[in-house]
Amino acid sequence: MQNLTNFGEAWLRAWNSHDLEEILSHYDADILFYSPLIKKINNDPSGCIRGKENLRAYFSKGLAAYPNLHFELYHILEGVNSVVLYYKSVNDMLSAELMVLNEKGLVCEVRAHYK
């Protein structure tokens, strides 16, 4: 398993570069992604996205909706095959994302939280 701090820092760099392919390189093809922002951006009351291609479409919409997007990382909390990234997100909201990593070191499930 890779160093989770390095993983978190690489994830943040990818987002701040707005490089969609680099962002998606962190996620497994069978990703399960939950976020309150999915309800807003995708107009989907389930708040859930399944699969990398659907995640690609969602992230594309998000990058277009927030062209000045810049995340500021506060903490990386390491778990067992998981990591929580605590950061300043869109519109200066606080965010904590729980990411579960599979045996390939790719994110297979996300639970995003915002304040």
pLDDT digits (tens, 9 = 90+) for 37-77: 998 888 899 999 999 999 999 999 999 999 999 999 999 99
Structure tokens that stand for 113 in this block: 């939280």
Rounded to whole angstroms, the Cα distance separating 93 from 42 reads: 19
Residue 69's pLDDT is 93
Q: Answer whether 89's CB lies under 8 Å from 114's CB.
A: yes
pTM over 0.95: no
Output the CA torsion 9→33→97→68 (10° steps).
60
pLDDT surpassing 80 at residue 25: yes
Residue 41's pLDDT is 86
Q: What is the pLDDT of residues 70-112, one digit of tens each?
A: 999 999 999 999 999 999 998 899 999 999 999 999 999 999 9
Residue 2's pLDDT is 59
Q: Which residues make Cβ contacts (< 8 Å) with residue 107, sequence separation at least 6? A: 26, 27, 28, 31, 99, 100, 101
Domain 4-114, second-level architecture: Roll (3.10)
Please state the domain extents for the chain: 4-114
